[in-house]
């Protein structure tokens, strides 16, 4: 999860987030190279007292500074398009989870199992123990098996919400009357925190998301105990 003074991404917990971080680093390298080159050129020009009589009508340099940015944009666009298609790809899912955004809590339905559905509210500060995270913990966590392809169906019951977990590289708008679909896989166990990322009213800041990644056997035990309830 993010902490104070943390300027980078959260540690990735899914292959998609790893690819997003790689693309970010790739783009930052290109930007740093461009900024350094332009800065050097400007610093070299300011104290320069020489005059070049061909500078105002040099065809060659105009061709270069037109073609070079186009080539740089291609180096950014191709990995970006590849990543966009990867993010949209839905592999054969092993489990389907439906989430419904409400003002101001989330509802979850495990469609592959009978009668496994619950609401997830933020834990109030006065009911939280010392190990909890203020404004981020919930009373019912979303339990998912790790190393398993998950299909997420996202919608809303009232206004537009957005189901977002940064460590998983997942963000999907929850829109009333529309069913959005995303696919992801959690590749390590742990707790992953998120929040609604679409302003949805007075308590927009108080509808967090907690995904708990566990082993497949622990998930099946949890499902069976939830079904009994």
| Domain 95-227 classification at class level | mainly beta
Residue 70 confidence (pLDDT): 93
Number of Cβ within a 10 Å radius of residue 220: 13
Q: Is-contact 189 215, C-beta < 8 A?
A: yes
Beta bridge partners of 95: 150
The C-alpha atoms of residue 198 and residue 69 are separated, in whole angstroms, by 35
Cα dihedral value 80, 82, 84, 87, nearest 10: -130
Residue 55 confidence (pLDDT): 66
Nearest residue to 105 via CA among 203, 220, 228 = 203
Q: Is-contact 187 146, C-beta < 8 A?
A: yes
Q: Report domain extents, the chain.
A: 15-46+58-88, 95-227
Number of Cβ within a 10 Å radius of residue 79: 14
The C-alpha atoms of residue 48 and residue 171 are separated, in whole angstroms, by 50
3-class SS of residue 200: coil
Q: What pTM value is reported for the model?
A: 0.83
Nearest residue to 41 via CA among 73, 71, 64, 70 = 64
Tens of pLDDT, residue by residue, the chain (229 residues):
777 788 888 888 999 999 999 999 999 999 999 999 999 988 988 888 777 776 667 778 888 888 999 999 999 999 999 999 988 888 888 899 999 999 889 999 998 888 888 999 999 888 888 888 888 899 889 999 999 999 999 999 989 999 999 999 999 999 999 999 999 999 999 999 999 999 988 989 999 999 999 999 999 998 888 765 5
């Amino acid at each position: 999860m993010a902490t104070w003074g943390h300027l980078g991404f959260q540690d990735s917990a899914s292959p998609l987030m790893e690819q997003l971080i790689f693309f970010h680093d790739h783009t930052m390298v290109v930007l740093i190279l461009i900024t350094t080159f332009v800065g050097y050129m400007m610093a070299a020009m300011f104290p320069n007292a020489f005059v070049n009589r061909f500078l105002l009508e040099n065809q060659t340099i105009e061709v270069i500074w037109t073609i070079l940015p186009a080539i740089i944009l291609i180096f950014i666009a191709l990995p970006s398009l590849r990543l966009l298609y990867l993010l949209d790809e839905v592999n054969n899912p092993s489990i389907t989870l439906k989430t419904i955004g409400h003002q101001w809590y989330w509802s979850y339905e495990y469609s592959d199992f009978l009668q496994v559905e619950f609401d997830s509210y933020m834990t109030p500060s006065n009911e939280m123990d010392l190990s909890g995270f203020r404004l981020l913990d919930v009373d019912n966590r979303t339990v998912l098996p790790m190393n398993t392809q998950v299909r997420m169906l996202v919608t809303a019951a009232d206004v537009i919400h957005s189901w977002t977990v940064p460590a998983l590289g997942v963000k999907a708008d929850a829109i009333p009357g529309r069913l959005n679909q995303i696919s992801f896989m959690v590749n390590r166990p742990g707790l992953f925190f998120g929040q609604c990322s679409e302003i949805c009213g007075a308590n927009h800041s108080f509808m967090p998301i907690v995904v708990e990644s566990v082993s497949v056997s622990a998930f099946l035990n949890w499902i069976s105990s939830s079904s009994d309830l």
